[in-house]
A and B are shown apart, each in its own frame.
Chain A
């Protein structure tokens, strides 16, 4: 099974700080990581590949430094990586990004001389949190899609996807090729080993610009291809709504909790 994993480089969410005056993200000195959900998608992909063979290619749209994120995927099981990078792609919203990625996927298929059976994305990126790009890629490519996947099982040229639900999960079968977005898994993505990390360092990561993606319509890329307009960003106000009961008698305190919950019509 040939697999394409789309990844995004994001600021490390553990390290994010918001400027209290401008309300924008302070990016200076904040390390970049691969979007954690994309790492789960990559791990699902690598496990599928290990079971059924094929090639796993990872792609990312972003500035030059995103090559670092691609390289870290090469160190944990990806066979090849492509960086999609051009000034014309800057400022893209999710619609334009998913269009560029879908055209890039076709271009990568040409370059690799194969057809992807499965396109994997993380369910969403931890910086934008839209969860739109994966499903939009499926639309651009006119492929079936399954979101919120916990596991993928290949069976007779189709896949069965275990989709996370609020209560339990669904089992969904789909024909291939398909697009699947992946949630946090019950296991951790593998760590690079000394050998895989050193091999990854030696691999070349080709950069694709619009010149390498001939079919791309630049009017649908970058700022001018993006219908989204950001009018305002702000940090949500943190409201303290807790009630602290400092009474010493636990029975009395428990009764007070019941009274408060009943009063708020929560019981």
Chain B
């Protein structure tokens, strides 16, 4: 259904870009993202454009010649979204990584889509500003964060990436360049193509430039490490923060086993494993922010007391930058720690209503045991987004996949039944299409595919992802 690259087409692309890679020169990493279990595939050509115009020219050549194109940022995805399943051209935008300008009167920063989240966050911090979205993977491209509507730790208070996109420049599958959105804070100006593009995982267009909203950074931040006897007591505490009119920046939950592996991985131990004769089974990690020491002190005391009343065994306070960093180091390294200790790995990032987290996880752990899989879970207790990992060190890959399939069928169905959705922030990619169909139904899938056809009449952009099954 797609055509093959010919020497003539390759020459046309080379005439546009000085950064074209072929054959053995193609970086083998381009065949996969961070979840290779969903399949790997090498592109026939890789290109690292340096400007929107270059992207547009390459896209036009591919459109004219019916060549599939897969856009890629830092390749940190977890659903196979950046894998060139049908070969063709891989378009790596990670070299478009300039932070162009700040507009401190409208609180926006203009960037190229390949800027790393970490670089943007650091740069903003140096200006006394905060870019609130805080996905766990700091070395992802902001463009990729927008393409998956990545959430992260601070989403409970500040929202997900979607809430910070003001405008963007997009190269459409036809090679046309278009601008969506504006530096304004409200709009009632027709269909929001901007919001359609956010979370479209590189299937509707290639995001090349972004105008992102930033906010003045809160002056004082502190984190609480709150150990509990078990997970359900920990999770039962979460809604109480909101009921008490507290608005934590982050509320993460984590179970004992994953904290132990992660602390082994980072080589530092700050989470207590036993206190006053009780073995700790689960933790909450809560971050509070405010604009004065007094304000945050009062919040710490209120939140701490509330947790103790709800059954916390102790409340430890990280009130210096280095303590906060150490407290979060373990949380930020969960995925790496799991990867380090695991040969075969798959994951699911369902999102369920906050009051269903505890019962859902109980269900998941039982399903895991029934399917003969090791399960490691953590997630954003404040917004119901769970990261559930299936691990194995001794199964054959075929057998592992079989068990995971069975496990997924059970737990995705349960997520839908309790009012949840397939993915909170990692996206659908190629790995989760089946579960998206089960969850949203064929009608909604047909609408999505119809939209895809409007943007991409030849269906050449990132085929095999989200809604377009070949």
Of all chain B residues, the one with the shortest Cβ separation from A29 is: B128
Given A188-B269, A193-B314: A198 and B301 interface contact (C-beta under 8 Å): yes
Tell me the complex Cα distance, A197–B305, Å.
12
Give the B interface residue count (CB, 8 A): 22
Contact, CB under 8 Å: A12 / B316: no
- Closest-CB distance, B219 to chain A (whole angstroms): 10
Interface residues of A in 162-193 (CB under 8 A from B): 187-188, 191-193
- A33 / chain B contacts, CB cutoff of 8 Å: 320-322
Contact with A along B332-351 (1 / 0, CB 8 A): 00000000000000000000
Contact, CB under 8 Å: A191 / B225: yes
- B319 / chain A contacts, CB cutoff of 8 Å: 72, 192, 197
Q: Which of B225, B297, B314, B322 has the most CB of A within 10 A?
A: B322
- B323 / chain A contacts, CB cutoff of 8 Å: 191
Contact with A along B294-321 (1 / 0, CB 8 A): 0001001100110010000011111111
- A14 / chain B contacts, CB cutoff of 8 Å: 321-322, 325
Given A194-B305, A194-B308: A188 and B317 interface contact (C-beta under 8 Å): no
Tell me the complex Cα distance, A36–B318, Å.
15
Contact, CB under 8 Å: A191 / B308: no
- Closest-CB distance, A47 to chain B (whole angstroms): 15
Tell me the complex Cα distance, A192–B301, Å.
12
Q: Is A154 interfacial (CB-CB < 8 Å)?
A: no
Given A193-B315, A193-B316, A194-B301: A188 and B270 interface contact (C-beta under 8 Å): yes
Q: Is A158 interfacial (CB-CB < 8 Å)?
A: no
- Closest-CB distance, A78 to chain B (whole angstroms): 16
The 8 Å CB contact of B316, one of A15, A191, A201, is A191
Contact with B along A15-48 (1 / 0, CB 8 A): 1000000000000000101001000000000000
- A75 / chain B contacts, CB cutoff of 8 Å: 317
- Closest-CB distance, B10 to chain A (whole angstroms): 22
Contact, CB under 8 Å: A194 / B317: yes
Tell me the complex Cα distance, A192–B224, Å.
10
Q: Is B240 interfacial (CB-CB < 8 Å)?
A: no
Tell me the complex Cα distance, A244–B304, Å.
52
Contact, CB under 8 Å: B317 / A191: yes
The 8 Å CB contact of A31, one of B301, B305, B320, is B320
Contact, CB under 8 Å: A188 / B326: yes
Tell me the complex Cα distance, A201–B318, Å.
16
List, sorted by A's number, 17 A–B pairs whose CB atoms are closer than 8 Å. Answer: A12-B320, A31-B321, A33-B322, A36-B322, A75-B317, A188-B269, A188-B270, A191-B225, A191-B270, A191-B323, A192-B317, A192-B319, A193-B314, A193-B316, A194-B300, A197-B317, A198-B301
Q: Is B406 interfacial (CB-CB < 8 Å)?
A: no
Tell me the complex Cα distance, A194–B326, Å.
18
Q: Is B453 interfacial (CB-CB < 8 Å)?
A: no
Interface residues of A (CB under 8 A from B): 12, 14-15, 31, 33, 36, 72, 75, 187-188, 191-194, 197-198, 201
Q: Is B19 interfacial (CB-CB < 8 Å)?
A: no
- B308 / chain A contacts, CB cutoff of 8 Å: 194
- B305 / chain A contacts, CB cutoff of 8 Å: 194
Tell me the complex Cα distance, A36–B319, Å.
14
Contact, CB under 8 Å: A194 / B321: no
Contact, CB under 8 Å: B269 / A193: no
- B317 / chain A contacts, CB cutoff of 8 Å: 75, 191-194, 197
Q: Is B268 interfacial (CB-CB < 8 Å)?
A: yes
Given A194-B304, A194-B308, A198-B301: A187 and B321 interface contact (C-beta under 8 Å): no
- B301 / chain A contacts, CB cutoff of 8 Å: 194, 198
Contact, CB under 8 Å: B318 / A191: yes
Tell me the complex Cα distance, A187–B300, Å.
25
- Closest-CB distance, B265 to chain A (whole angstroms): 16
- A12 / chain B contacts, CB cutoff of 8 Å: 320-322
Q: Which of A12, A72, A191, A193 has the most CB of B within 10 A?
A: A191
Contact, CB under 8 Å: B269 / A187: yes
Contact, CB under 8 Å: A72 / B269: no
- A201 / chain B contacts, CB cutoff of 8 Å: 297
Tell me the complex Cα distance, A227–B122, Å.
42
Tell me the complex Cα distance, A184–B321, Å.
18
- B321 / chain A contacts, CB cutoff of 8 Å: 12, 14-15, 31, 33
Tell me the complex Cα distance, A36–B323, Å.
11
- Closest-CB distance, A154 to chain B (whole angstroms): 25
Given pairs A192-B316, A192-B319, 15 additional interface contacts (CB within 8 A) = A12-B320, A12-B321, A14-B321, A15-B321, A33-B321, A33-B322, A187-B269, A191-B225, A191-B270, A191-B323, A192-B317, A193-B314, A193-B316, A194-B301, A197-B319
- Closest-CB distance, B288 to chain A (whole angstroms): 13
Tell me the complex Cα distance, A72–B321, Å.
13
Tell me the complex Cα distance, A223–B132, Å.
47
Tell me the complex Cα distance, A12–B316, Å.
21
Tell me the complex Cα distance, A75–B301, Å.
14
Tell me the complex Cα distance, A198–B319, Å.
13
Tell me the complex Cα distance, A197–B314, Å.
12
- Closest-CB distance, B95 to chain A (whole angstroms): 18
- A188 / chain B contacts, CB cutoff of 8 Å: 268-270, 326
